[in-house]
Structure 1
Amino acid sequence: MRSKSTLFLGVLLSLALGSAWAQIGQRFPSEKRVVKDPVTGTPLTFLTTKPHGDSKIYPSHPQWTADGKWLVFRSNRVKGEAIAVNERSGEMVQVTEGGYEGMLNLSQSGGNKLYFLRKDPAGGDPKVRQVIEVDLDRVFADSKARVLKSADVYQRVIATLPAELEAYGDNALDADNQWFYFRIQGKDYAGARLPAGTKIEPPFGPRRMGAGPHAIGKVNVKTGEFKDVVSVPFQIGHIQSNLWSPGELVFSWETGGKSPQRTWTVKGDGSGLRPLYPEASYEWVTHEAIIGKDEVALAIMGHRPVPGVEDPARAPGTEVGGANPGQETSWGNSGTREKPTGLAIVNLRTREMTIAGQTHKGSGLWHVHGSPDGRFAVGDDFNRDIYLIDRKTREMIRLSAGHKDTARDHPHPTFSPDGRKIQIQSAMLAADGREMSICVIPVPKAWLARKP
């Protein structure tokens, strides 16, 4: 007969293995809760409320499934797997098995599908990556019916990418669901495809990031065919596709802060590489997001004090830290308000830039987005407050506050496809001030009723 301690250890091991290998399609009960914003009174719908390491998809990518019913997010409910929450019922479903890496990509037409990169669950070369497609409609249906099957029924391996590419989790799905784009950080591979004589960029800034070369590749979702897109002499970050115009990409020169030239655009066939918004040395450009067929929102930061001018927002002689990053003098002369700053919108066709708005004090707007209909823009700041802008009238209001600047991450506001609500991640409900929840904020009815 086994001892009680042996049985107890066996139960613990069984629970641990069950969590590690939890099946795609498993369900979690609703945590949905509506909370009145303590500062603005706006009703906030929290779709998750328990401390399980939740975080939303990055705002450069879709958050809602194609049918508009589910939001997909990252969570430690099952460590390393993605979860979908039904916005109406609050019920949650595990939608990956075997892990994922980096970005989660939701199709916006042709059914509910999810695409991502992952390491080979069977092991082998740690630099090899698989491109995966998940049939979410089938997952949701079988999960609801409680007739779950093996993971390979729902997940398809589109392609296996060789180690020499060093494919990484910065990736995007094209608007027509034909191509899956991804970052290639294999320097030998990327460098061999640069034009002769190209100067390789060294690290930039105090974080010692930004060095190249990197490249973008693509895989055909139907056939698994691989093609090169473009190689550049710097570190690539935040690859995103234009969801209204197939074959158009925006990506960044990633340094962890100010870049010499942050934003770039290129066609899916590798043609037309150019800076999206040519920036001056004094401009700190960041957090670009395609918000419509012809428009990209980005932040021109005004978060740093002017040298030699006392900042009234803090006591003399104190350092700016915590919720206020990017204050190191080694970033150079950028990010002050000596020149125009704020939530900027760049037209991809005319290349015209306009500033939709800026807070009158504090860090200024930081992570930005806009409604696809062109009516509204949204941004957060270092305090984790959420600001809404009417692009026609330039009116700006603080829509929501109290999301705790101690949070593990930033709110990252993202508009829904219909432009009627905004998704964020928030630590408002966190007992430790850090753990984040998935939250949806409505655009005020009075604003929606305005004439476009």
Structure 2
Amino acid sequence: MFQIKQVLVTTLCIAFYSNFIPAQIVEGKDYSALSDVDHTFDMAGDDIFGQRFPSENFTYIDKVTGIKVNALTTSRHSNSKMYQTHPQWTADGKYIVFSSNRTSTKDNWDRQYYAVSVDNFEIVQITTGKGGRNLHLGWHKNVAYLVKENKLIELNLEKLLADSEHNSVKSPEAYERLIAEIPDSIKPSGIGLDAKEESAFFSTKLNEENHAIYRIDFKTGKTSQILEVPFRIGHLQNNPYVSGEIMYCWETGGDSPQRIWLLTIDSKGKVSNKPLYEERPNDWVTHEVFMGPDKVLFHLMGHIDRLKKNQTGIYSINLRTNELTFHGQSDIDGGYWHCNATPDGKWIAADTFDGKLYRLNASNPKDTVLLTQGHRLLSTSPFSKEAHMHQSVSPDGKWVLFNSSLLTDNDIMIVPLTN
């Protein structure tokens, strides 16, 4: 009986101390209030689903523009925003999702996805293990879609983030819903999400010459091929506003014969495929993104002499009329590089190779404002190791999110688009 009581008391003590932080008294001083500092970014290395990191937020005034810049990450690791073709903010606007190698080790070098609060800037790890790539945030729901071991998974971010805040995170499976199992013979690359959030799309390599696009139906779980082309497919993205419209590019890692393509699926399931902005011999098209429901924004590179035979810079093309609109070009050598726009199409965010970020009035190429600079201090061309800014405009049109090499190799920062 005594042994049973002793075991019970021991168990209760363990339970008590597992729920409360023990006092850390050294030389008569209590350090328990600072017990969480050992979770800072420089000391974390464990892959723990749902773990929290304290804010790394650092604000400064750009010495050239006078505008306040907010560095959301400042760690010694590689922290990168997602590609600008995809949503960066959760549907409720409360978190920004990014990737980082902060839990990587010498023996387990892998990146995970994290969500940083736009309120208190605390960071939560939202993926774990290997194979969780091709993440796409929901357009309308606080979820993320990702492919793990050829399974399309819906991750309940709203529940996960709430549980993390209350230190009650469950196993990863508790937040996952299986949507579809992709046949093992298919290797998904990239993921796009239809505007109605009822289907997803991805590309895959068929052989050395041909690539294909597949569709996953959320209701049936069926995976079906909808297109095959004789080139490598890259940067697949769905129109966030119009169901059944998918833009993708002829990917070469550089210039391509015809970069931008538009695939459409009508209400009867008929598939159509056509090139957008048919290129001239000395055009180098890059970094295409949707600009509202009816336009695509892209850039004509101007960083080498042969390209300057044509007008280079940022353009948009109307998907319904094919009308082409010029939005301006930088006087700096090489011109603009990446581009993104507010949902209403009024403002454009454009950057240069040397790390300057500008706001352009979409209706007036001469109305240009420098927002911030210094984010690629060593670069005057795209071919360097410094971060590609890959800027994205927030859904409310108020902020620009971008990568920066100002503080470390790669951090994510935000700056107000308009004052």
| TM category, shorter | 0.7 to 0.9
Give the alignment of 1:52-451 within 5 angstroms: 52-79=77-104, 80-100=111-131, 102-109=133-140, 111-118=141-148, 120=149, 129-168=150-189, 170-187=190-207, 212-268=209-265, 269=269, 271-305=271-305, 333=306, 336-394=307-365, 395-406=367-378, 408-430=386-408, 435-445=409-419
Instruction: Note the C-alpha offset of 1:87.
Output: 1.1
Alignment partner of 1:163: what SS? coil
Amino acid at match of 1:36: I
Alignment partner of 1:142: what SS? helix
Quote the residue 2:38 is aligned against.
Answer: none
- Distance, in Å, in 1 between the alignment partners of 2:315 and 2:133 is 27
Deviations along 1:374-399, whole A, 9 cap, x unmatched? 11011111112112101123211222
Cα pair 1:376 1:390 within 8 Å, conserved: yes
Alignment partner of 2:230: what SS? strand
Amino acid at match of 2:97: V
By percentage of residues, which structure has more strand? 2
- Distance, in Å, in 1 between the alignment partners of 2:353 and 2:259 is 20
- Distance, in Å, in 1 between the alignment partners of 2:324 and 2:143 is 34
- Distance, in Å, in 2 between the alignment partners of 1:138 and 1:78 is 22
Alignment partner of 2:173: what SS? helix
Between structure 1 and structure 2, the one with the greater Rg is 2
Instruction: Note the C-alpha offset of 1:20.
Output: 5.3
Cα pair 1:39 1:402 within 8 Å, conserved: no
Instruction: Note the C-alpha offset of 1:436.
Output: 1.1
- Distance, in Å, in 1 between the alignment partners of 2:386 and 2:270 is 37
Alignment partner of 1:234: what SS? coil
Aligned pair in 2 of structure 1 residues 222, 144: CA closer, same or farther (>3 Å)?
farther
- Distance, in Å, in 1 between the alignment partners of 2:358 and 2:218 is 38
Instruction: Note the C-alpha offset of 1:248.
Output: 0.5
Cα pair 1:230 1:270 within 8 Å, conserved: no
Alignment partner of 2:162: what SS? helix
Is there any run of 5+ residues in structure 2 with no aligned partner, and where? 1-43, 105-110, 379-384
Instruction: Note the C-alpha offset of 1:47.
Output: 0.9
Amino acid at match of 1:146: N
Aligned partner of 2:48 among 5, 8, 22: 22
Q: Give identity over the alignment, percent.
A: 37
Cα pair 1:216 1:231 within 8 Å, conserved: yes
- Distance, in Å, in 1 between the alignment partners of 2:209 and 2:61 is 47
- Distance, in Å, in 2 between the alignment partners of 1:56 and 1:165 is 27
Q: RMSD between aligned alpha carbons?
A: 1.7
Aligned partner of 2:68 among 25, 34, 43: 43
Amino acid at match of 1:350: T
- Distance, in Å, in 2 between the alignment partners of 1:245 and 1:100 is 30
Cα pair 1:38 1:402 within 8 Å, conserved: no
Q: TM-score, normalised by structure 2?
A: 0.82
Deviations along 1:372-431, whole A, 9 cap, x unmatched? 11110111111121121011232112221010245542101111111111100111112x
- Distance, in Å, in 1 between the alignment partners of 2:88 and 2:54 is 20
- Distance, in Å, in 2 between the alignment partners of 1:272 and 1:180 is 17
Amino acid at match of 2:262: T
- Distance, in Å, in 2 between the alignment partners of 1:276 and 1:158 is 32
- Distance, in Å, in 1 between the alignment partners of 2:387 and 2:205 is 25
Amino acid at match of 1:96: T
Quote the residue 2:14 is aligned against.
Answer: none
- Distance, in Å, in 2 between the alignment partners of 1:277 and 1:101 is 34
Amino acid at match of 1:161: I
Instruction: Note the C-alpha offset of 1:439.
Output: 0.5
- Distance, in Å, in 1 between the alignment partners of 2:133 and 2:166 is 30
Cα pair 2:327 2:364 within 8 Å, conserved: no
Cα pair 1:239 1:249 within 8 Å, conserved: yes
Amino acid at match of 2:322: R
Deviates more, 1:212-221 or 1:398-407: 398-407
Alignment partner of 1:261: what SS? coil
Aligned pair in 2 of structure 1 residues 254, 295: CA closer, same or farther (>3 Å)?
same
Cα pair 1:132 1:156 within 8 Å, conserved: yes
Quote the residue 2:40 is aligned against.
Answer: none
